Structure 1
Amino acid sequence: MTDIRNSTAIAIGGFDGMHIGHQQLFRALDEKSTIVVIETGYANLTPKRERESFSHYPLLYLELNEIRHLNGEEFIAFLKDKFPKLQKIVVGYDFHFGKDRKYSFNNLKELFDNEVVVVNEVTLHGDSVHSHKIRAKLQIGDIVGANAFLGHNYTIKGTLVSGQGIGKKELVATINLEAKEYLMPKEGVYVTLTRIDDEEHFHPSVSFVGHRITTDGSFALESHILDGEVICKERATISFVSFIRENRKFDSLDELKKAIHKDIATASKELKFLQL
């Protein structure tokens, strides 16, 4: 296990999503580096320790309440205590710290006696990349746009729960998940890739997010595997590729089943195209 006290460089930020803007900060790090994550309580793109899937650097998590009261000098002393060999601090252009967020990167440069690297705003097609914009895209079903900002597919990890019990019998078999700590994208049907338990590979799939308004009205996060029936024991990971259609009420289970098979055909075609 890496001893972060030997780190000579750190990147500091909230890093929810570990998106392409964050990755630009990480490129400025050295071989012996640590990513310092400030936990604000708002992370729902990569909640808890999910950020670790998107970087080879070790991550140190700090609760905002642990440092928000510090003045500039105290903040630097805090960092030096955590990282005795610290020579470089990497932050974004909009980084603020200390009590009432009154200190910026300019203060960091004044207070820290080694190198401070400030990474400029990262844009994509003329639009600045921020976590709140990714959340907004997900909430309108713009998965392609959200994934472009993320630099990877939006991914939700969930634990297995019981479904309605009618899927396999009257519709199609699905894996039903619970993942309350994640931001759910807009209600609807999606082209997805799903990984089961500890498998290394993803299965082509079609997934539904939303309330089952045709049946009992309950909320569901469920995935149907396209390449054959699989057995999920504990958990699954859904990687969102694109939006197929909005959630809507059908007049009968037969009508719903027809729509589902159309969704399956759409997802199969798109995923086959992506694999070419």
Structure 2
Amino acid sequence: MKNFSSILSEKIEELAIGKFDGMHLAHQRILEKLGKNAGVLVIAHNKNEYLCSPDLKKKLIRYEIFELLLDEIRGFSGEDFVRFLKKKFPKLKRLVVGYDFYFGKNRACDCYDLQSFFEGSVEIVPEILYNGFSVHAQKIQEILKETGDIRFVNTLLGRIYQVEGKIIKGQGIGKKMLYPTLNLDVQGYVLPKSGVYACFLGEKKVFCATFIGTRSTDSCFSVEVHVLGEFKKEYQETGYIDLYFVDRVRDIKHFANLYDLKKQITQDIQSVKNILKSIF
């Protein structure tokens, strides 16, 4: 992924422009419009949370990616921005953007102004709707945080939502008195609403039950993963794992004792098994 100062390509003839912050159905539709000798210009924002990691974005886009921080071009007029594109991509003939693409200082210009300023062709991808719901990254984030409806989120994304987490040391209570878990440090991602989820780990689809929320044992926020079946040593080693969210099982509950908690976790594990076996 090339940054502002290093952008220069003599071969790019087609360019998709956008934030591509969720890599959802609308972003995928834009990429489908690209042909040969194409690239993607990502307008990046300084956000603390994201729906798609930079590494995953590279895998999903599959075109050469050029990145611009919004702050680097915030003062450009509409004409300045188009001149910048022509300078950086001398052979540029075609642009592809979404219907809600804005550019120029104070977002003064829209996709139709782009057609006026740019001498080549501009394809505008119309609004993408799913059952009347407009597909936008911000709305997907709101669903994740407010309802945890991961099935709907996955439909809007056109992929299974995934985060990368670093395995960290936990309290040890699960292994001794409940069920063994992997404790994850998940930073930078939008996490679903607190609750229990049916998930899997990695490309091998290792089934697991995931708890997100504040632990009753120490009042600390945690992401805890119980691997179904044999608790393999490879998941006990400190490292990073990819966690995929498939479905929401339940909301957070509070328990008077560990016996009641373990009883509920046992039920959760069975629910997760039933959900995942019905899908995969």
* TM bucket, shorter chain: over 0.9
Q: How does 1:1-276 map to 2 (within 5 A)?
A: 5-42=10-47, 44-139=50-145, 140-195=147-202, 200-212=203-215, 214-230=216-232, 231-232=234-235, 233-275=238-280
Q: Please give the per-residue CA displacement for 1:48-104, whole angstroms capped at 9, x wherever unaligned.
A: 443223222222221001111101121012112222221111101110001000011
Q: Which amino acid aligns with 1:208?
A: F
* Secondary structure of the structure 1 residue equivalent to 2:276: helix
Q: Please give the per-residue CA displacement for 1:186-205, whole angstroms capped at 9, x wherever unaligned.
A: 0000001112xxxx422111
| Distance across 1 between alignment mates of 2:226 and 2:40 | 36
Runs of at least 5 residues in structure 2 that lack an aligned partner in the other structure: 3-7
**CA-CA distance at 1:4 after TM superposition:** 5.1
TM-score, normalisation: structure 1: 0.93
Partner residue, 2:5: none
Conserved? CA contact 2:24–2:157, under 8 Å: yes
Task: Decide whether aligned partners of structure 1 residues 161 and 31 sit closer, same or farther in structure 2, where only a CA change above 3 A counts.
Answer: same
| Distance across 1 between alignment mates of 2:263 and 2:222 | 19
**CA-CA distance at 1:227 after TM superposition:** 3.2
* Secondary structure of the structure 2 residue equivalent to 1:215: coil
| Distance across 2 between alignment mates of 1:239 and 1:4 | 36
Q: Identity across aligned pairs (percent)?
A: 38
**CA-CA distance at 1:260 after TM superposition:** 0.9
**CA-CA distance at 1:168 after TM superposition:** 1.2
**CA-CA distance at 1:161 after TM superposition:** 1.3
Larger mean Cα displacement after TM superposition, 126-135 or 184-193: 126-135
Aligned structure 1 segments of 4 or more residues deviating by more than 6 angstroms: none
| Distance across 2 between alignment mates of 1:250 and 1:54 | 42
Task: Decide whether aligned partners of structure 1 residues 69 and 218 sit closer, same or farther in structure 2, where only a CA change above 3 A counts.
Answer: same
| Distance across 1 between alignment mates of 2:139 and 2:201 | 25
Q: Which amino acid aligns with 2:30?
A: L
Q: Please give the per-residue CA displacement for 1:201-248, whole angstroms capped at 9, x wherever unaligned.
A: 221111111110x21011111211113212233111111111001112
Larger mean Cα displacement after TM superposition, 18-27 or 57-66: 57-66
Runs of at least 5 residues in structure 1 that lack an aligned partner in the other structure: none
Report the count of equivalent residues.
Answer: 270
| Distance across 2 between alignment mates of 1:68 and 1:160 | 38
| Distance across 2 between alignment mates of 1:4 and 1:151 | 31
Root mean square deviation of aligned Cα: 1.7
